[in-house]
Amino acid sequence: MEEETEGKRSIAEEILIKASVLERCPIHEDIILAGGADIEDAYKLANYLFTNGKDEWELQHAFRDRREMTDTIKEMFEWHGGGADECGLCMKD
């Protein structure tokens, strides 16, 4: 069960990145930064992919329904605090 939840969270994080809501630091890939787009862009992308069923994550199989998917996207956005403006590790260098 925990693996399934982590998998859904990972997919939600990747959707946020693909929609440019969040982005990875180009040097420290495990650091998530603010991407500039609105979370609504992630919802639109995810719903489009869910409807068309032609996505790398197979959203229709990963999530019970759209609500679970968008709730997980929101959860990950909030978990990241909307993304940092700058990478703390880069600022130390």
Write down the mean pLDDT value for the chain. 92
pTM above 0.95, yes or no: no
pLDDT in tens, 75-86: 999 999 888 899
* pLDDT score, position 93: 65
Higher pLDDT, 72 or 88: 72
Amino acid at 86: E
- Alpha-helical regions (H) of the chain: 2-18, 39-52, 59-62, 66-79, 88-92
pLDDT in tens, 19-60: 999 999 999 999 999 999 999 999 999 999 999 887 788 888
Determine contact, residues 38/21, Cβ cutoff 8 Å.
yes
User: What's the topology of domain 2-88?
Assistant: Arc Repressor Mutant, subunit A (1.10.10)
Report the 10 Å Cβ neighbour count for 17.
17
Cα distance between residue 93 and residue 42, in whole Å: 32
The domain locations on the chain are 2-88
